[in-house]
Structure 1
């Protein structure tokens, strides 16, 4: 009995030892996994962090973790030394805003990378949003990311200086989508770094990043770093188009209606047409940069093409109308067409501005466009209406009082004759008035000034009809 109890205690001790050894081994494996997944990179702006694990027992898989601040619109890590042909992990907030959407993409140049569904990425536990730190985290496993088609091909898992890239969007969340091909704006910050792939090699597992992007660089080294980059061509395109359709073209119509300054109207509209031509070329260049506009089938692009054609026709009609008017001094049949086509162009231009800001994922600038339109266009219209009311009032006062401020403009006074009777000299000597010196002839003997018998009131040619278009 005593021997049985001793054996029983020995068995329990042996079981406890085995269990403890297994637990220690498991903890050791976990620690080892976390330790080997120590290649960590953090951007200089502290808004994006990336950690990579290369499983030693697999020839195809990669485990990674991406961490991004909630204020950043999107972030990306590229596997490769050049943008063209690189495989990129692009992340942005999901539609719910509680997680991240990952989009594997391959870039073809300095343009928006294209979503590549052939790359298989599995979401791992730990993905989500941490409201206490305002951080997004995406943990993933990629089964075919060591090599890919359509790009540079592969990464070298034995290299200690594997070239990689990063990019982040503006610190203004504008994109929240579950779609893998969500539209991106040009990166605001970007750069390159190198990663020690040997240091990242070890047992399979998702590498850990501290719950903050303030983690130190581990097995990585910063190379190029550029901050504050914007799409200046797109900005110039938008600014010029707003200047033309909200400023120059309405002002050109205003100077014609207000003062009948035909020459300045033509110069202003020609300058606006030239600026529109330049901005349209910029628009074609921009369209090749982003996936959403490469096919030239969006409403903004289609309407913009029609507006450009209408502008060319409008410029031609205006030139022909003015040339014919100078010959005949009479309104032409082209004037109504020119006038209504101009109104159509201004309306389509304003609408296309709204569509353009939507296409550029910059809808906040629609408020700016609306404010400028409501501030400038109604002001010009009010000035013209006030002038018209004053002209009617002056015309009414003229009819009531009979006073003509410009009588020489009346056609009935352009040819007025004055008949002056001839005065003959005195032949009979009259008696001199008292006190008159006899040696001095009387005043009535002098011949007064004889005007021409016919006098023409010539104050210039009569005004012709005004050239309104």
Structure 2
């Protein structure tokens, strides 16, 4: 998804710094630090969160990632105003309302509310230089901030602990802000007289919050670009393995009768599977959803059981060489593989749903997986019918055929690998 990233051009003792991850059509954020607070290292800072009312909630946070961040969530209160909720990012669950003694002391200022199709929160924070889990310098030249948003219906509540839906994989960004460029002379609401939210810097980009701009003081965090790349790589490799490589590899044995071709193919798929899993774990950590979503939990279970498949397959091979027939381990290996492949494809769909991918990608994934598995079922049915016909034709064949090297469908009455 192409994103524009529009930073403001605030100067020292000038205007607040601003950025709009989706150009001016989506959420926009502005940050200002009074000179007195910057010099003291503590005191009021000001921020503005503005977004169309088509968004369920919009958030801004201090820190480089969700886990351990001081997060400020804004949503409509249902009475023409907005609710601003101080929360702490825990990493694996939605950020919870911070009611501790160190919670952000937030004050909703003049200019806040819902007007037309726009909701605005002008906020003063008296102690945002530190929180339970971190701190930031009010004079730092590269201070990390994060932002996230979720489109949807209004929450319409004044409850600061209201439950919020998880944002999509593309609905967040992280930036580094030169706080010295965000200083303002007066310790008062700077958003009643400051320049336009859009700022004077412009820029475009691609990926999850991967825009850039020419404005002073705000740069896109490199980690945000990496997170988008990691997520994309995880999705592509995992889909290739579960929807294409594993089912095709399973067909090689009955179709070709060459165990080493089947084994080599599946080893390649196995290695790629672990690569996809590693990328998925990192992506889940970046987004704070590791082991907290069905996709990540089911994916881990599927990968864990796939991990024992090579050992089961090798034991099956040794047993077949010795007995020229399948044993209990053989059926465990075969049916476990089939079940895991199906669960893997289903989990891929859950991953697309979790990342809120566009419908065209979901359709493409479903079509490719459907075709591959239809071919898989047809090929399996073909080999079973062929085997039955050969069994009938050779039911009175000499038993000496059983001493021939094992080969798919050659031995009368069975001998399946």
TM-score category of the 2 structures, normalised to the smaller one: 0.5 to 0.7
Does residue 41 of structure 2 align to residue 42 of structure 1? Answer: no
Q: Residue 411 of structure 2 aligns with which residue?
A: 464
Aligned partners of 2:406, 2:381: CA distance in 1, in Å? 30
**How far did residue 77 of structure 1 move?**
5.5
Q: Residue 311 of structure 1 aligns with which residue?
A: 306
Aligned partners of 1:234, 1:197: CA distance in 2, in Å? 32
Q: 1:373 aligns with which of 369, 373, 377?
A: 369
Q: Residue 199 of structure 1 aligns with which residue?
A: 184
Aligned partners of 2:85, 2:275: CA distance in 1, in Å? 35
Q: Residue 32 of structure 2 aligns with which residue?
A: 52
Q: 2:329 aligns with which of 317, 331, 334?
A: 334
Q: 2:271 aligns with which of 251, 269, 274?
A: 274
Aligned partners of 1:297, 1:44: CA distance in 2, in Å? 29
8 Å CA contact retained: 1:55, 1:62: no
Q: Residue 451 of structure 1 aligns with which residue?
A: none
Which structure has the greater CA radius of gyration? 1
Larger fraction in strand: 2
Aligned partners of 1:267, 1:326: CA distance in 2, in Å? 18
8 Å CA contact retained: 1:300, 1:355: yes
Q: Deviations over 1:46-78 (max 9, x none)?
A: 442415374989x85444433346789987656
8 Å CA contact retained: 1:169, 1:185: no
8 Å CA contact retained: 1:103, 1:115: no
Within 5 A, what are the aligned runs for 1:164-183? 164-168=143-147, 173=151, 178-179=162-163, 182-183=166-167
Name the structure, 1 or 2, with higher relative contact order (CA <8 Å, separation 6+).
Answer: 2
Over the aligned positions, Cα root-mean-square deviation in angstroms equals 5.1
TM-score (norm 1): 0.59
8 Å CA contact retained: 2:15, 2:194: no
Aligned partners of 1:375, 1:266: CA distance in 2, in Å? 23
Aligned partners of 1:262, 1:252: CA distance in 2, in Å? 11
Does residue 149 of structure 2 align to residue 150 of structure 1? Answer: no
Aligned partners of 2:251, 2:50: CA distance in 1, in Å? 56
* Other structure's SS at 1:52 match: strand
Does residue 135 of structure 2 align to residue 138 of structure 1? Answer: no
Aligned partners of 1:179, 1:461: CA distance in 2, in Å? 61
* Other structure's SS at 1:39 match: coil
**How far did residue 250 of structure 1 move?**
0.9
Worse-superposed segment, 350-359 or 233-242: 350-359
Aligned partners of 1:389, 1:85: CA distance in 2, in Å? 56
Q: Residue 321 of structure 1 aligns with which residue?
A: 316
Q: Residue 242 of structure 1 aligns with which residue?
A: 239
Aligned partners of 1:268, 1:79: CA distance in 2, in Å? 47
Aligned partners of 2:246, 2:183: CA distance in 1, in Å? 64
Q: Residue 24 of structure 1 aligns with which residue?
A: none
Gap regions ≥5 residues in structure 2: 1-12, 156-161, 202-214
Q: Residue 4 of structure 2 aligns with which residue?
A: none
Aligned partners of 1:391, 1:327: CA distance in 2, in Å? 21
8 Å CA contact retained: 1:54, 1:201: yes
* Other structure's SS at 1:289 match: helix
The aligned length equals: 363
* Other structure's SS at 1:207 match: coil
**How far did residue 274 of structure 1 move?**
1.9
**How far did residue 85 of structure 1 move?**
11
TM-score (norm 2): 0.65
Aligned partners of 2:49, 2:333: CA distance in 1, in Å? 59
From the superposition, tell whether residues 386 and 73 of structure 1 become closer, same or farther in structure 2 (CA, over 3 Å). farther
Aligned partners of 1:329, 1:85: CA distance in 2, in Å? 56
Does residue 66 of structure 2 align to residue 66 of structure 1? Answer: no
From the superposition, tell whether residues 176 and 355 of structure 1 become closer, same or farther in structure 2 (CA, over 3 Å). farther
Q: 1:224 aligns with which of 219, 222, 225?
A: 219
